[in-house]
Structure formats: C-alpha cells, structure tokens
Structure 1
Amino acid sequence: MDNNTLSETSKFLSYILRHKPAAIGLQLDTEGWADINSLIIGAAKEGRILDQAIIQTVVNSSDKKRFTLSEDGQHIRAAQGHSTPDVDLQHIEKKPPEFLYHGTATRFLESILQQGLIAGSRHYVHLSQETQTAIAVGLRYGKPVVLKIESLRMYQQGFTFFRAENDVWLTRHVPNFFIYQD
C-alpha cells in the first residue's frame, strides 16, 4: 500500500470513527468500538475498499497511534478525538506533568488568548508532552504557534486530566490564564 493510499485510508477511518459513523451506516458503542466487518461493509457501500489487512496496516503504521484494535481483532476504535455524542470513552484520570503543549495556527491565537482552549465539537482539548508534536499539529491549520500550558498548576486547582492510549493528554477546558505563548 503506497503512502498516499495509507494516508487517505487513515483520514477516512478518523472521520468515520471519530465524527460520522452514520455516514456509512456504522454504529459505535459508548466506548467508541466498531465492528470491523460492519465497517468494511459500510465503507464498500460508499466506494471505499477496506479489508482486515488494510485496516491492520493503517493501525500499525499510524505514528500517532490513532486507532486501537480489540484483543480479538474484531473491533476498532479511534483512541481519542470523538465528536459524536454516542461515544463517551472512559479515560483514567492522571496527574499531568508541569507543562503540556498545544499546537494551533496563528490565526486562532487572539481568540484562544481571550477565551482559553475549549473542546469545541470534540469532547476534550488535546495536549502533548512535546513541543515537536504541538508544532506538527499547528502546521495542519496554517502557520504554527505552540502554547505552553501550566497543566500541573491546573491539576492542583481541581482540573481533571486524562492520558489517552496514544499518549495524548486530554482536559475539558484550559482557561486563558494557564496559557503562555512559548
């Protein structure tokens, strides 16, 4: 499978498993799991050719570990980033490091510095432990800027943090007074 096909398939799976499973008639459970056979059948109705081997290749090659396969290999889910109201992944609360980072584009900076980071259509704000990851995220939206988050201080003041299976840190909201431009 060439890199372009791999990338397009990964984007398709992200869209379906995070945001619009109904677009192909797919049902997710509350933990975000989808039956792989139903995913393959639904994708085929939309002209997308998937099989177990292609799905396995996408899961294994995802540098960000976006997807998780069940132990029996019959189900798949996105690790985080859901916007569908049917999914409510139960992440384990964790104490964050002193600082976490959020990558965004400069065009969003003024709004963020005024109202903080909000989850928007997603369930959580996504944060990373490395500035390089934050830069890569910001590049997807334009000229990148990295925001430094005082995550440990937030935690000490009662904010809840979770760490997803793929090492992305999650929280519901980051007030602007915990945010600094790095």
Structure 2
Amino acid sequence: MIESRYLSYLLRHHPEAIGLHLDAGGWVDVTELVDALGRHGRVGNREDLEQLVATSDKQRFELRDNRIRAAQGHSLDVDLGLEPLAPPAVLYHGTHPGARLGITTQGLLPMGRRFVHLSADVTTARTVGARRGDPVVLQVDAAAAHQGGHPFYRAANGVWLTDHVPPALLSTLAQR
C-alpha cells in the first residue's frame, strides 16, 4: 500500500529518490509514479492512489487527468498555478514552543518550503502545531499583511500560503 507520508516526501521534496521527474507544475504521470514505486519496493496501483487521495485527511494531493501532485508544501521550485487572493482578515499558524523565539524576531518564514502555511481555523492550526508536542497557535493579521504587499494564495486543499508574515502582525492565542 502507498503511504501518504512517503508520497508527500516524493512529490514535495525528493522525486529523484525513485527516479521521478515532475513537470513545472509539480505533476507526474500516475503510471510513471506507480511503476517507479514498484521498482523501489512499494507495491501499489492507480486504485490505491485514488483511495489515498480521496481519504487523505489533509487533502495533500491532487489527482487530475492521469496525473498527480502535492497540493502544497513543496521545497521544490514548482508553479502550482495559484492566483493571488485576498485572504480572510485573520488566519492561524500552528507551531511548537521551540520556534517561538525565532518567530518573535523574524516573523513567519517559509523555512525549507516555498511558502508559509496558514490555516483558516484554530483547530487545524492546533493540530499542525501538535505534531511536535504542545502546540503554539499564532493569530495572523492577514488583512494587514495583504495590505502591506504580501501576496496570499489558497491551495487546492484550503491551506493559505504567503511568502512571509512580519512579527508585528502576529499574536499568540491563549493555550488550553
């Protein structure tokens, strides 16, 4: 069976690990992907990929016209073809306590990814932040960031993306 985490690794960061080549939009042919996975000991087929895409809780992947790609989260230089959008007035970012000092001084940066990832709701941000312990949830004044010239995009899975959020536009929500 094909695992979501491994597929994310391949389609977001290291397609070359199994000999894949993504196009400029991050897409790869499903047959090519399944064949490459098989050559590397990962058994699966198109139906497995369709099931993974349909049941992924975070909707990490897009499947279209016999091609698949990661919806967001790339460290690779891919063009997702997203149009800039005005974001909601407030968005949220979940992180861990160890990142707090850096965020306080530099704001939110993409780090090893192409964009900063933001959530439209506190629950999702808390879930994201909890991957590495007790979460810290930051409230983002997205309206002010947008007015200040930071472009915003919404990925196919609903995750909001931007290049940077200055520290002055962040506040920490009370933890429960």
TM range (shorter): over 0.9
Counterpart of 2:71 in structure 1: which amino acid? A
The ranges of structure 1 where at least 4 consecutive aligned residues each deviate by more than 6 angstroms after the TM superposition are: none
Q: Distance in 2 between matches of 1:159 and 1:144?
A: 25
Offset at 1:53? Answer: 0.9
Match of 1:76 among 46, 54, 68: 68
**How many residues get paired?**
173
Partner SS state of residue 132, structure 2: coil
| 1:34 maps onto 2:25 in alignment | no
Give how far 1:90 is off.
Answer: 1.9
Q: Give a deviation string over 1:61-115, Cα, whole Å, max 9, x none.
A: 0121111111x3x110110111113x22221111011110000011111111111
Alignment partners' CA distance in 1, 2:149 and 2:37: 43
Is the aligned partner of 1:148 residue 2:139? yes
- 1:20 maps to a residue whose letter is H
| Residue aligning to 2:105 | 114
Aligned match of 2:92: 101
Q: Which residue of 2 aligns with 1:171?
A: 162
The 5-angstrom pairing of residues 1-40 of structure 1 reads 9-40=3-34
Q: How far does residue 143 in structure 1 lie from its aligned partner after superposition?
A: 1.4
Q: Which residue does 1:67 correspond to in 2?
A: 61
Counterpart of 1:81, as a letter, is: G
The whole-number CA distance in structure 1 between the counterparts of 2:108 and 2:15 is 26
TM-score in terms of structure 2 length: 0.95
What CA distance in whole angstroms lies between the structure 1 residues aligned with 2:164 and 2:147? 15
Task: State TM-score, norm by structure 1.
Answer: 0.92
- The runs of 5 or more residues in structure 1 that have no matched partner are none
User: What is the aligned partner in structure 1 of residue 82 from structure 2?
Assistant: 91
What is the percentage of aligned positions where both structures have the same residue?
Answer: 45
Distance (whole Å) between structure 1 residues aligned to residue 81 and residue 165 of structure 2: 20
Structure 2 residue ranges without an equivalent (≥5): none
Offset of residue 118 of structure 1: 0.6
For residues 134 and 49 of structure 1, what CA distance do their matches in structure 2 show? 33
1:51 alignment partner in structure 2:
45
Rounded to whole Å, the distance in 2 between the matches of 1:119 and 1:50 is 32
Counterparts of 1:118 and 1:88 in 2: how far apart (Å)?
Answer: 19
